[in-house]
Structure formats: structure tokens, C-alpha cells
Chains A and B, each alone.
Chain A
Amino acid sequence: NAGVTQTPKFQVLKTGQSMTLQCAQDMNHEYMSWYRQDPGMGLRLIHYSVGAGITDQGEVPNGYNVSRSTTEDFPLRLLSAAPSQTSVYFCASADRGSSTYNEQFFGPGTRLTVL
């Protein structure tokens, strides 16, 4: 299994540009989520999904859109990039089928710079 994969690894955007960060998992996990990591702030939840067709907002959703058309993919869209969105973005997935809390598996991250 490849686990959780993210593309691209690095991206530079100009203010106002749009782009999509890709996330895919091959573990048949129902739960997927996006976090951003900023110095001194830990990881903050942007959006999450508990299954195909179901998404919800996390702690910092403004400026980001998501959709979940398949179990495997959970893309994150920046509609109009701003310098405040310069960050490292992590995607994670978890299996909601077990009876205990479900460990989240993280991708390698995408480092985004907005000029």
C-alpha cells in the first residue's frame, strides 16, 4: 500500500491564483481530513470528510473548498490564494470501521508559498 499520497510536494503561487492540492489514499478509509501547519501553531483542521459525498468544516475553513466524490480522493481547493495561506498542508485518513478511535495516517505534506 502507498498509504496517503499528496501532490505536489512544493508549490509557489501568486496572490489571487487558484490551485488544487491533491490527496489520495489506498487503504479504503472513510475518514479524510486536511490540516495546515504553521510555526508555533501546531496543526489546525481545515476540512474533513466522513465518507464520499460528505464534508464538513474544521477550525480554519475560510478560503478553502473540498469535495469528496470517491473514497480514495479528497482534493483541497484554494479559490484565490492569499499570502496568509502560505503553509505546509497535510492530508490524513482513518478507518472509521473499528470499535475504538481510529488512528489517522498522514501524508508527506505539500509546502505552499503564496507571493
Chain B
Amino acid sequence: AQSVTQLDSQVPVFEEAPVELRCNYSSSVSVYLFWYVQYPNQGLQLLLKYLSGSTLVKGINGFEAEFNKSQTSFHLRKPSVHISDTAEYFCAVSYNTDKLIFGTGTRLQVFP
């Protein structure tokens, strides 16, 4: 079955430290990958997406992600986080259909 796994439900980190949020998906020939961010009591906002081409994707707010086909991963990274990055982050995948399959989310908590 097609699925997305976010292994870390919560990631605590101090301000200005680097962070990596992990995402793995079930294997497929053709896949589109996304990271969304949800700030408290708000809707989802697209951080970045991989459709094709370069495997390193840069998004908004200094985030980037790398598509690794052999490991079926799409981990999200930021070299230095801010308090304002505290939010829930969702990885999502589309297996060349209209449907998006979401992971269960990772809550990033940035401490001063």
C-alpha cells in the first residue's frame, strides 16, 4: 500500500541549531513529494515540493529537502532554526494521481 512515514512525532531543538525532519515513502516509479507547515490554529502552507529535476529542493523560510530515490526518503532540513519555526510539519506524496497521501506529522518545538 502507498504510504508516507514520519518517524519522529516530536522534535525539540534549541534556537539556532540545525534540524532534520525525516520522511520516508513507499517505493514507486513516479512520485511527487511535498512538505507542508501548519502553524498553530492555521491551515497548511506549502514549504517546498519535488516534482522532477534536481534532487535538492529549496523552499521558503530557509528550508530545504533532498529527494533520495534509493532510500525512498525526502528529509527536510534547516541549518539554523528560529523560534518562529515552531509548528507541525507534514510530508506528503502523490503517486502520479490527484490524491495526496500525508504522513502523521512532526511537531517541531524550538526552545530559546
A43 at the interface (CB under 8 A from B): yes
CA gap between A102 and B100 in the complex, in Å: 10
What size tier do the contact residues of chain B reach?
A: 20 to 34
A83 at the interface (CB under 8 A from B): no
Mark A94-106 against chain B: 1 for CB-CB distance below 8 A, else 0. Answer: 1010001111101
Asked if A100 and B52 make an inter-chain contact with CB atoms under 8 angstroms apart, the answer reads yes
Q: B63 contacts which chain A residues (CB < 8 A)?
A: none
What size tier do the contact residues of chain A reach?
A: 20 to 34
Chain A residue with minimal CB distance to B104?
Answer: A42
Asked if B43 and A104 make an inter-chain contact with CB atoms under 8 angstroms apart, the answer reads no
Asked if A42 and B98 make an inter-chain contact with CB atoms under 8 angstroms apart, the answer reads no
- Assuming the contacts A103-B49, A106-B43, asked whether A58 and B99 have C-beta atoms less than 8 A apart, the reply is yes
- Assuming the contacts A101-B32, A107-B43, asked whether A41 and B98 have C-beta atoms less than 8 A apart, the reply is no
Closest 5 A/B residue pairs (Cβ): A42-B102, A101-B32, A43-B102, A106-B44, A42-B104
